[in-house]
Amino acid sequence: MPTEAVTQLPLFTNPPAAWLAAAVFAAGTVVLGLALRQLVRRYKRRVQATEQVEWLELPALALSRTTLVFLVLLGSFAGLQLLAHGTRTAALAGSVMMIALFWQVGLWATTATSAWFQYKRRTSVATDRASLGSLGIVGVVVSAVIWVLVALMTLDNLGIDVTALVAGLGIGGIAVALAVQNVLGDLFASLSIALDRPYVVGDFLSVGDFLGTVEDIGIKSTRLRSLSGEQIVMSNSDLLSSRLRNYGRMQQRRVVLATGIAYETPAADIAKIPQLIRVIVERQADVRFDRSHFSGYGDFALQFETVYYVLSADFNRHMDIQQDILLEMYREFEARGIEFAYPTQRLLVERRDAVPAAGEAGSPAPP
C-alpha cells in the first residue's frame, strides 16, 4: 500500500489529543497488567513455599506466565478503541489480538497441565506408582494437542483453509510415517505401556541379560537402574516385544531347598529328617511351609527336598530367612549326629589268587 494511501486511513485522521489519550490508556493497561502479574507471582511464591496445596495455586501458576508481548498488544488494542478507525484497521487489529490471545492461552494451558501432572507425580510416588509412567506420556500428548490446536486456530484466523491443510497433511503424513516408523513404533509402544501397564516406575525387571529397577518411562525409551549402578536405556518397542520378568509384581517367593545326607545315616534318623526340617521352617516369620520329603538316592547322598514360601517380595528378606533355616538345620543335625554328604568316591579292590604256572605241582598237564 502506498504511503499516501496509508496516511489517508481514518486512523491517522484522529487529532493529537485523541492519540495522547489512546497512548495513556494503552500504557495504563500495560502497567496495570504488569502490576497484576507481579501480585499473582508473589501469591504463587507464597503458596509454593507451603506443603499444603491451595486451590488457587494452579491458576496462579498459569497466570504468572503472562508474557510482556501479550500485555503490550492488549494495551495497544485497548488504546485503539479510543481512536476512530476503519473496518480494515479494526479487522487487522482484531486478528492480531486473537492470534496473541490464542498463543497466550496455549501457554497458560500447557503451564497448568504440566504443573498438574507434576503434582500428580509427586503424590503418586507413595500411593500409585502405576500412574507415574503414564502421567509423563499423557502430559506430552496433551501439550502436543494444545499447541496443534493453537496453530490451527492461528492459521484459520489468518484466512488459510485449515480443512484443506489438514487433508494435505494427512496425505503427506503417510510418507513421514514410513520414514519415521521406528520412532512411531516406540511412541505407540509407550501408549501401550501407559494403558496396559506391564510395568511401572519402581518395578524390578529382568529382560534377557539385563536386570534393573525402572526409573523413568518416556515417549521413546524406558530407563533402568542396574544393580551395579549404571543406567540401562531400552526402547519401548524392544521391551514390549521381549519376554520380561517383573519382580515388582511378585507377592511371594517359592523356595526349593535341597539337602544331601550321608549314606551312613541310620534309617530311623532318615525318617525323622522331613519332620525336623518342617519344624525349623515353621519357626520362621513370614514363611509358609509346603512340604519336605526324602526325594531320592543320589550318587553320593540321600536327597531331601523342602519347599516353602516367603510371604514377601523383598530379596534381602528371603536371604535372611534362608540363612536362618540353614544355620538351624546345621545345629540340629550336628546335635543328632547326622552328617551332610559331600562328593566322595569309594574304590572297591577285589583280590584274586595267582593262577599256578604250567608244570608246577598240582597243576594240570597240558594236553
Residue ranges and CATH numbers for the domains of the chain are 9-127 (no CATH), 128-248 (2.30.30.60), 253-336 (3.30.70.100)
Per-residue pLDDT, 130:
56
| Helices first, then strands: H and E counts in the chain | 11, 8
Contact 74, 36 (CB under 8 A): no
Task: State mean pLDDT over 81-104.
Answer: 86
Which residues sit opposite 204 in a β-bridge?
213
Cα 191 to Cα 319: distance, rounded to the nearest angstrom = 37
**Nearest Cα to 131, choosing from 119, 148, 146, 115?**
119
Task: State mean pLDDT over 77-96.
Answer: 84
Task: State mean pLDDT over 139-160.
Answer: 84
Of 2-6, 102-106, 261-265, 273-277, least confident by mean pLDDT is: 2-6
Q: Does 179 or 303 have the greater pLDDT score?
A: 303
Cα 11 to Cα 286: distance, rounded to the nearest angstrom = 85
Tens of pLDDT, residue by residue over 50-62, are 766 667 778 888 8
Residue 117 has pLDDT above 60, yes or no: yes
Q: For residue 72, what pLDDT band results from cuts at 50, 70 and 90?
A: very high
Q: What is the pTM of this model?
A: 0.54
Per-residue pLDDT, 357:
56
The C-alpha cell that represents 214 in the structure block: 525402572
Cα 176 to Cα 222: distance, rounded to the nearest angstrom = 24
Integer Rg of the chain from CA: 40
Tens of pLDDT, residue by residue over 314-346, are 889 999 999 999 999 999 999 999 999 988 777
